[in-house]
Structure 1
Amino acid sequence: MPTGARLVAALGLAFLGLIVSGQVVLLYPEGTDFGWFTTINTALGLLVGWQTLGPRAGRGAAVAITNGITGAVVLLFWALFVQAVNEMVRLAMANRYDSPLEALVAVFEIGVGFFLRIATPGILVTLAIGGVIVSLAAEAAARRWR
């Protein structure tokens, strides 16, 4: 059911996904082709905010803080997973893998590699603080629009 809290959480996490995607782009060499990277991460922020963060709003500020961190972690997980699957498919089309199992294992290896590359204090702090701010905004929306 659509609520104000879901809308605020979805738009907030979409914006957070956009900001963090911009930070990640800066970590890679100039000229790297990112394709739909930012758009996909923004869309994932929209979905995670709507499905994960929005429904949990309205339980108090202390719960909102933990929900914000949870929302940021869920967004990070799905973004890493989707981007790793995308990279695996790209490599599979270049005949890099001998079996489907090898390609499936590669998704997790690629995802861990991506995480280690982007696990800088700036990105992790942005995710944590941004998630808490979005969650507190969703909490305020839940109290205001019942």
Structure 2
Amino acid sequence: MPDAARLVAAICISIVALIVSLLVMPLMPESTDFGWFLYVNPVIGAFVGWTVMGKRAGRGVASAISNGFGGVLMLVLWGLFIHSCVQMFDRAMANWYNDAFQALLAIVTFMAQYGLVLINPLVIFTLIAGGVLSGLATEYAWRTWR
């Protein structure tokens, strides 16, 4: 059921995703082709905000902060998974893997490599602050526009 809390959560987490994407780009090697990176991450953020955070609104301030952390965590996990799958698919089309297990293992390997890039104090602070603010904004929207 669409409501204001889901919309606000989707918008807030999309903004967090865009900001973190802009912070991550300089941390990657210079030869990295980002392609649709700046477009895909806010879409992932909107999906996570709508489905994960929006439906958990209305349980209080402490739960709102927890909801924000959960939303940001899901954003990071889905982002790592989707971008790792795309990287694996590109390599699979170039015949890098001999069987399906190697391809699946490559997804986990890419997720770990990309996850290490996210271990940066500015990125972590942005994710935490964005999660808290998104959770509080979602809770405020739920209380204001029921």
Under a length normalisation based on structure 1, what TM-score does the superposition of the two structures give? 0.97
What residue is the counterpart of 1:24 in the other structure? Answer: 24
Distance 1:29 1:102, change over 3 A: closer
What residue is the counterpart of 1:37 in the other structure? Answer: 37
What residue is the counterpart of 1:142 in the other structure? Answer: 142
- Aligned pairs, how many? 146
Return 5+ residue gaps in structure 1 as ranges: none
What residue is the counterpart of 1:62 in the other structure? Answer: 62
Aligned equivalents of 1:125, 1:111: Cα separation in 2: 20
Instruction: Report the Cα offset of residue 29 of structure 1.
Output: 3.4
Instruction: Report the Cα offset of residue 31 of structure 1.
Output: 5.2
Report sequence identity in percent: 45
Question: 1:99 aligned to 2:62?
Answer: no
The DSSP-based 3-state class of the residue aligned with 1:45 is: helix
What residue is the counterpart of 2:77 in the other structure? Answer: 77
Instruction: Report the Cα offset of residue 32 of structure 1.
Output: 2.7
Aligned equivalents of 1:143, 1:118: Cα separation in 2: 33
Return 5+ residue gaps in structure 2 as ranges: none
The DSSP-based 3-state class of the residue aligned with 1:26 is: helix
Aligned equivalents of 2:31, 2:109: Cα separation in 1: 24
Q: Deviations over 1:66-105 (max 9, x none)?
A: 1111110000000000000000011111111000111011
The aligned amino acid for 1:71 is G
Q: Deviations over 1:28-52 (max 9, x none)?
A: 2345310001111110000000000
Aligned structure 1 segments of 4 or more residues deviating by more than 6 angstroms: none
